A = this chain, B = another copy of it.
Amino acid sequence: MRPSGRAPDEMRAITIDTGFTKHAEGSVLVSFGDTRVLCTASVEDRLPPWLRGKGEGWVTGEYSMLPRATHTRGQREAAKGKQSGRTQEIQRLIGRSLRAVVDLKKLGEHQITLDCDVLQADGGTRTASISGAWVALRLAVNGLLASGALKEDPITGKIAAISCGICDGTPVLDLDYAEDSSADADANFVLIEGGQIAEVQATAEGATYDEEGLLRLLRLAQIGCAQIFKAQDAAVK
């Protein structure tokens, strides 16, 4: 039995509210149960130095938790003077995942930054960030297309992410904090609509797992992402 009473392949409620803030070119408040992340897409004309003058664009991600998004207050990274290894890992994952469904040449010399700020955390913040950031990106690109700044859609597909894990020997979908902190294995899948995989990160925490376990987690992730793709569709419309 899961702490939340959910079935092993049961997701938490997903909500994706667009337009949560007004300045960003794309703005989304995404919730997976009690996990809530504000994802904004900012379009800028300046590119990182190593891309200038190549006729290509860039998509990147940034991630942060508000200090009291969690059960106990965490120190601000700005006050500590550096971002943790965990933050940097997640930021790199968000950017890499979104770029997997963007044709940077078609994006032209624009940079789109996906800021994912966790307002409340209950497990799965990095996967919620990716799933929400895609919607923010979609909205921002829609704006560029509408304004004529882009002629051709650079987005090549839909991407979503979900965590799965093995808890007390059972593979389960969409871990909340109670499960996440006690899972034997913890995996994050980033999947592209249509069956392709963008990223698998599967880590043994207490116990290890085998090929069969990995496949069962992947199957759960496919179930979960199918639902996220639907929620993304609904949000964009």
Q: Is the CB of A62 within 8 A of B67?
A: yes
With an 8 A cutoff between CB atoms, is A208 at the interface? yes
Contact of A21 among B69, B83, B85, B218 (CB under 8 A): B69
Stretch at the interface among A72-80, A146-154, A227-235: A72-80
Q: Which residues of B contact A192 (CB under 8 A)?
A: 208
Contact of A199 among B70, B78, B85, B204 (CB under 8 A): B204
Q: Is the CB of A202 within 8 A of B200?
A: yes
- Closest beta carbon of chain B to A120's beta carbon, Å: 5
With an 8 A cutoff between CB atoms, is A203 at the interface? yes
CA gap between A19 and B196 in the complex, in Å: 40
CA gap between A197 and B208 in the complex, in Å: 6
Residues 103-141 (chain A) with a chain B CB within 8 angstroms: 113, 115, 117, 119-120
- Closest beta carbon of chain B to A221's beta carbon, Å: 10
Q: Is the CB of B204 within 8 A of A120?
A: no
- Closest beta carbon of chain B to A62's beta carbon, Å: 6
Nearest 10 CB-CB pairings of A with B = A85-B88, A77-B78, A196-B208, A42-B73, A40-B68, A78-B78, A200-B202, A24-B68, A21-B120, A198-B204
Beyond A23-B69, A73-B115, A201-B201, 17 extra complex contacts between A and B, CB < 8 Å: A21-B69, A21-B119, A22-B120, A40-B68, A67-B115, A79-B83, A84-B88, A85-B88, A85-B91, A88-B88, A89-B92, A100-B208, A196-B210, A197-B204, A197-B213, A200-B201, A200-B214
25 contacts between A and B (CB under 8 A): A21-B36, A21-B119, A22-B34, A23-B68, A27-B68, A42-B68, A44-B73, A66-B117, A76-B78, A77-B78, A78-B78, A81-B82, A85-B89, A85-B92, A100-B204, A195-B211, A197-B208, A197-B209, A197-B210, A197-B214, A199-B201, A199-B202, A200-B201, A201-B201, A214-B218
List residues of chain A with CB under 8 Å of any chain B CB.
21-24, 27, 34, 36, 38, 40, 42, 44, 62, 64, 66-73, 76-89, 91-92, 96, 100, 113, 115, 117, 119-120, 187, 192, 195-204, 208-211, 213-215, 218
